Structure 1
Amino acid sequence: MALCDEYLLVDLSVEVVPPGTEERPFVTTRSLLHDATTKYLISTHTHVGTHLEGPLHFFEVGKDLADFPLSAFWGRAWFLDIEKVPEDRLLTEAFLAYRLEGKVAPGDILIARNLDEETVSRFNTTKDRSLLPCFTPEAALWIRDRGLKMLGIDHLVRLGKDVAATRKLHEILLSADILLLEGLANLKAVQENPFFLIAFPYKARGIDSSLTRAVALVRR
């Protein structure tokens, strides 16, 4: 049986529509090549849409994504399913250990998925991001110490409760070459846990992050 008959690709990427927003611009301008065919000039930045962040995002002399092997951008992925957001909103080391200890292995990918419908509904109504669950720096240490290679989130999970905590998470993970995959979408469409995730970046030098087309590879 051909591979395409055994597996289904599930798109986990947000759609970027010009002109984007003030904070996340994606402005396209049509022009022509020398042979009168169309090209587009694009004005954007590296954190628009679904994107991968590498060490250069946080460290001035950190690796860019072209320094990583292709194996860094795909592999076995586990959902951290949050059926009930903790009262304090914190995804702690103990929270991760309770759900994932003995399952994840070095080289795996972790994708946080908020399944708390009450919290999601309140957020969709109020847009109050303080309602959403967030990782603690200690949770980042747990991820690092188990040798995971990527952490992914959508807009329903935060990397930290405030700027300081978010920066600490970036420092812990990116210093260990653990990539961050942000702006995911459509996570509920994946029923398998674990599954295979693919998220290749541009092969470009000197940029901290890259747009990516993230997909899940699941059995039919």
Structure 2
Amino acid sequence: MTNWIDITQPLTNTIAHWPGDTPFSYNLTCTKEETGSTNVGQITTSLHMGTHIDAPFHFDNDGLTVDQLDVNIYIGKAAVIDVSHTDTITPDILQEHEWDKDVTRLLLKTSLPNDPERFPKRIPELAPEIAAFLHDKGIKLLGVDMPSVDPPDSKELATHHALADHGIFILENIMLDHIADGNYQLIALPLAIHGADGSPVRAVLRKID
């Protein structure tokens, strides 16, 4: 059996965070020596830390929250494609690639180097027009190896909104440097956080022969 491959950014106390957002921290609040039985830890974090999903509520007050999302969106057949030869990803760029007709999840390997401890000042651009193209191809989930599908300084979040308008959900900050193009089984389940705008996930792939 083919092994599962982890494509998750590890959550560490040195992981980069959005400027001005809550950084990740983990510490022990009680040690086994103190309790006599167990170590007990706590975390403090933004919900958009490391590998995570955006719920529509993140950018739309009337959008679904994490606990309202269908978990089946985040489990199933996915295609990984390499678009690292360009910093502007358009429908024409995606048109250069083929994937199976039953693929409903697309993961983009971009030109941005994976460095979890550095928040990038600039990232490759995803043109909002890709949303209509992907919708016509039956894509329901778009994953990227970047902290966002829009520029870090964007206020309009045009690509977030375009994807949502076409029924496409968002997975961000996956790590694909070690992943070859092809078809995979994907699991990237969010936590069932009531009312939340996003959630960290543990994202894994298994190659489909």
* TM-score over 0.5 (shorter chain): yes
Which residue number corresponds to residue 95 of structure 2? 97
Aligned partner of 1:143: which letter?
A: L
Which residue number corresponds to residue 140 of structure 1? 131
Give 1:111 shift. Answer: 0.8
Over the aligned positions, Cα root-mean-square deviation in angstroms equals: 3.2
Distance 1:43 1:62 in 2: 25
Residue pairs, 1:1-220, within 5 angstroms: 6-18=1-13, 20-21=15-16, 23=19, 25-32=23-30, 37-82=38-83, 84-85=85-86, 89-100=87-98, 103-105=99-101, 108-114=104-110, 129-130=121-122, 132-155=123-146, 159-160=149-150, 163-164=153-154, 167-185=157-175, 187-191=176-180, 193-218=182-207
Aligned partner of 1:151: which letter?
A: L
TM-score normalised by the chain length of structure 2: 0.80
Distance 1:29 1:215 in 2: 26
Aligned length: 200
**Equivalent position SS for 2:97:** helix
Which residue number corresponds to residue 3 of structure 1? none
**Equivalent position SS for 1:214:** strand
Give 1:192 shift. Answer: 5.3
Distance 1:165 1:31 in 2: 37
Deviations 1:59-107, CA, capped at 9 Å, x for gaps: 112111222222111111112312522xxx321111112223xx35466
Identity of aligned residues (%): 23
Distance 1:20 1:128 in 2: 12
Distance 2:143 2:137 in 1: 16
Q: 1 or 2, which has the higher helix percentage?
A: 1
**Equivalent position SS for 2:109:** strand
Distance 1:214 1:51 in 2: 9
Distance 1:51 1:204 in 2: 13
